[in-house]
Amino acid sequence: MVTPRRWVIAMMRELTPEVELEWRADLEQVFFARIQLGNEAVWFHKTSRTIRLLVKDRQAARASAHKILEWPFERVVVAHDTIVEQDAHEAVEKAFAYFDK
């Protein structure tokens, strides 16, 4: 018998740089390339206008940052559930300015 946890693990697959077809109506994503210990996917949830991200490598992240700033997000969930709900886009613009130095 397969337990629910094992069933979930069996259903897991590696993400690609393209958002999964079944998620495209709700989500957009950008992979931050060359981050230590793996690549990080940054997600934009269209309905809630929220992004979730983790940034470690300025040089490799520059193009990804510019793509993310094209999204009309209003809320950000950073790393492990820190939430920015006021002036979130402006805050991310200021943080991502680091990549352009």
75-101 pLDDT, tens per residue? 988 766 678 889 999 998 998 887 887
Helix axes 58-68, 88-96, angle to 10 degrees: 150
Predicted confidence (pLDDT) per residue in 9-43, tens digit:
566 667 777 888 888 999 888 876 655 545 677 88
| Mean per-residue pLDDT over the chain, rounded | 77
Distance in Å from the first CA to the final CA of the chain: 55
- State pTM to two decimals: 0.54
- In this predicted structure, the answer to whether residue 61 has a pLDDT above a threshold of 70 is yes
Give the C-alpha separation, 43 to 45, whole Å.
6
